[in-house]
């Protein structure tokens, strides 16, 4: 690892098949960052069990997500790409950080409030503590930058506050991370309810495009996407949230600006527009899907990669863990 490069950490939960929201909002950006940063990426399986998971599905989604990481271009030779639960330091560090985190600040987390509504039958302690596990992920690796979508900003802010609090007590032992949120594509919304973010765990499968959806499915889902009755391709998130979201997706997929897109579809109806958006997404996903099929069929290869990666990750994590334990006064 190159010491001159800044350390980057990010993770994604294996809570379903990734969507184009995850791709445009997070993964695409992660891939680009590998050149200039010292990157660590993780499959956050410990986070995933804060909501109910069927064992077979969690197992499958974990492997699938690892394969997607590699298929989109995360490179195990350049970055450390590991599975969170393979490095026990994450749970141990979470406990330590819990004791420096206030009940009140966790109660204010938007994601906790939202998930308490959508999973009202299972508001478990892990769901409440989710941001502390995330802080542990970040702080264990002396992370300077955390690339995520807009929705994770509040959690990164919490990680910063906890790090500053620990440093205030014990001296500068934790690196205080910065959020890194891409300007375009930072928030892709649901195709069925543009007031919500597109989410891989949405119960309505028409609400999201999964990275592994077939072309026919992609076209069908875009045709059904909620728009408005104006028949005007114009960007206005307030009064035309559905159309603006489709424009955002098209912009992410083609690299065209919003102004160029408005011009391209001047005088055209939503039918043409939706087909163009669908085709642009099919074009982006086809090569990724081909690569995915190749990788997922070679489990031995993946296993070799994530085993080595977990060892490399554990070396860094255990060092941070030990330093904090020493400062706290544990007899080690
Ligand atoms: P879940 O539905 O299980 O809560 P999710 O689909 O919202 O999951 P996460 O695993 O929580 O996805 O997030 C992975 C990464 O993708 C994060 O960096 C997050 O900010 C980003 N991301 C998720 N959804 C979107 C979206 N709709 N638009 C942009 N970025 C997103
Ligand atoms: N909570 C994150 C996933 C995640 C994460 C992290 C992101 C877990 N640990 C550490 C950045 C850094 C989410 O995207 N929902």
More confident residue, 320 or 149: 320
Among 26, 117, 197, 209, which residue has the most ligand 1 atoms within 8 Å of its CB, making it the best to mutate? Answer: 26
pLDDT of 1 above 70: no
Atom of ligand 2 minimally distant from the CA of 111: 15
36: number of Cβ within 10 Å: 11
pLDDT of 4 above 90: no
Q: What whole-number distance in Å separates Cα of residue 302 and Cα of residue 331?
A: 38
Q: Counting ligands in written order, which one lies closest to the CA of residue 191?
A: 1
Per DSSP, the three-state class of 88 is: coil
Tell me the two tokens of residue 306: 């994530």
Which region among 93-102, 159-168, 174-183, 303-312 has the lowest average model confidence (pLDDT)? 174-183
At residue 2 the predicted structure's pLDDT band, cuts being 50, 70 and 90, is: low
Half-sphere exposure of 57 (CA within 13 A, CB side): 12
pLDDT of 136 above 90: yes
Order of all β-strands in the sheet with 38-43? 80-83, 38-43, 7-12, 145-147, 178-180
pLDDT of 91 above 80: yes
Ligand 1: does its nearest atom lie under 6 Å from the Cβ of 199? Answer: yes
Ligand 2: does its nearest atom lie under 6 Å from the Cβ of 146? Answer: yes
SS (H, E, C) 200-216: CCCCCHHHCCECCCCHH
At residue 185 the predicted structure's pLDDT band, cuts being 50, 70 and 90, is: low
CA nearest to 13, candidates 71, 68, 95, 94? 68
Q: How high is the mean pLDDT of the chain?
A: 96
Ligand 2: distance of its center to the CA of 252 in Å? 22
**Which residue bears the tokens 């994604």?**
12
At residue 215 the predicted structure's pLDDT band, cuts being 50, 70 and 90, is: very high
216: number of Cβ within 10 Å: 10
pLDDT of 135 above 80: yes
pLDDT at 219: 98
Average pLDDT over residues 127-148: 97
- Burial of 45-73, coded b for 16+ CB within 10 Å and e otherwise, reads bbbbbbbebeeeebeebbbbbbbbbbbbb
At residue 186 the predicted structure's pLDDT band, cuts being 50, 70 and 90, is: low
């Amino acid at each position: 690892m190159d010491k001159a490069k800044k350390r980057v950490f990010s993770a994604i939960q294996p809570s379903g098949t990734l969507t184009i929201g995850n791709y445009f909002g997070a993964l695409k950006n992660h891939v680009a960052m590998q050149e200039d940063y010292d990157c660590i990426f993780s499959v956050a399986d410990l986070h995933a069990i804060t909501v109910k998971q069927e064992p077979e599905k969690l197992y499958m989604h974990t492997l699938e997500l690892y394969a997607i990481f590699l298929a989109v271009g995360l490179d195990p030779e350049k970055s450390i790409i590991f599975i969170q639960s393979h490095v026990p330091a994450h749970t141990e560090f979470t406990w330590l950080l819990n004791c420096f985190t206030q009940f009140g600040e966790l109660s204010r987390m938007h994601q906790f409030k939202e998930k308490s509504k959508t999973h009202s039958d299972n508001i478990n302690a892990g769901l409440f503590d989710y941001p502390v596990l995330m802080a542990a992920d970040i702080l264990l690796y002396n992370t300077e930058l955390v690339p995520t979508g807009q929705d994770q900003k509040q959690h990164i802010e919490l990680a910063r506050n906890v790090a500053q609090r620990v440093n205030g007590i014990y001296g500068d032992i934790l690196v205080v991370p910065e959020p890194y949120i891409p300007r375009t594509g930072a928030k892709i919304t649901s195709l069925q309810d543009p007031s919500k973010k597109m989410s891989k765990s949405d119960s309505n499968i028409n609400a999201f495009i999964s990275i592994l959806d077939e072309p026919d499915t992609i076209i069908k889902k875009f045709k059904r996407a909620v728009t408005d009755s104006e028949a005007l391709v114009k960007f206005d998130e307030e009064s035309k949230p559905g159309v603006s979201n489709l424009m955002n997706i098209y912009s992410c997929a083609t690299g065209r600006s919003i102004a160029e897109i408005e011009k391209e579809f001047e005088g055209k109806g939503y039918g043409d527009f939706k087909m163009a958006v669908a085709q642009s997404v099919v074009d982006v996903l086809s090569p990724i899907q081909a690569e995915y099929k190749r990788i997922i069929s070679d489990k031995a290869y993946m296993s070799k990669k994530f085993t080595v990666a977990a060892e490399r990750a554990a070396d860094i994590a255990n060092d941070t863990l030990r330093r904090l334990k020493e400062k706290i006064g544990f007899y080690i």
